[in-house]
Structure 1
Amino acid sequence: MSRRCELTGKAVQTGNLVSHSNHKTRTRFLPNLVNVSLISDSLKRSVRLRVAAAALRSVEHRGGLDAFLLKARDAELSAGALKLKREIAKKAAEVQATA
């Protein structure tokens, strides 16, 4: 399992810890990943995802999981999230066609 957010693509970064004496030590900066169940309004079911804590705030800001996925670029989504985005878009098209 990779250390990558399924919604935003946030991943491990590398860099240096720099001491007061300017001694540099290589380190890895890990994203704050959490396992969450998010509810899709259009699919009427919950979905388990591994996302960064900052992504949860973004999901709420954009108006829920469905709105977040429809606005997100395909390149930054995981395979599972991309499949979910297609399901949501298909369901939204069906609802709009019947209305």
Structure 2
Amino acid sequence: MARRCELTGKGVLVGNNVSHANNKTKRRFLPNLVDVTLQSEALGRGVRVRCAAAALRTVEHRGGLDKFLMVAKDGELSERMLRLKREVTAASAPETPAA
């Protein structure tokens, strides 16, 4: 499983450990990923997501998973979240009466 946030696309960064003697060795900076279940009001069910802790704060700030997905750029979302975004869009769109 990739170490990448499904909502923001945040992934692993690479850098150096620098010792007091200025020796440099490669290291990895891992994102703080958490497994959570977020509720979708439009779909009426929970969705399991592996996302960064900072992304959770953003989801809460924007008013929930549905509103976060509507504003999110498609390039940042995972394939699974893109499918969910389409489902949410279809479920929340007002139904037009047949003429």
TM-score in terms of structure 2 length: 0.93
Equivalent residue pairs, number: 97
| Shift in Å, 1:84 | 0.4
Matched, 1:56 2:56: yes
| Shift in Å, 1:98 | 5.2
Q: Secondary structure at the match of 2:86?
A: helix
The whole-number CA distance in structure 2 between the counterparts of 1:45 and 1:98 is 24
* Residue identity matched to 1:86: R
Structure 1 gap ranges (5+): none
The whole-number CA distance in structure 2 between the counterparts of 1:45 and 1:78 is 19
The whole-number CA distance in structure 2 between the counterparts of 1:98 and 1:64 is 26
Match in the other structure for 2:68? 68
Identity over aligned pairs, percent: 63
Structure 2 gap ranges (5+): none
> What value does the CA root-mean-square deviation take over the aligned residues?
1.3
Q: Secondary structure at the match of 1:75?
A: coil
Task: List, as ranges, runs of 4+ consecutive aligned residues in structure 1 with deviation greater than 4 Å.
Answer: none
The whole-number CA distance in structure 2 between the counterparts of 1:19 and 1:57 is 34
Match in the other structure for 1:97? 95
* Residue identity matched to 1:24: K
| Shift in Å, 1:20 | 2.2
Match in the other structure for 2:11? 11
Q: Secondary structure at the match of 2:38?
A: strand
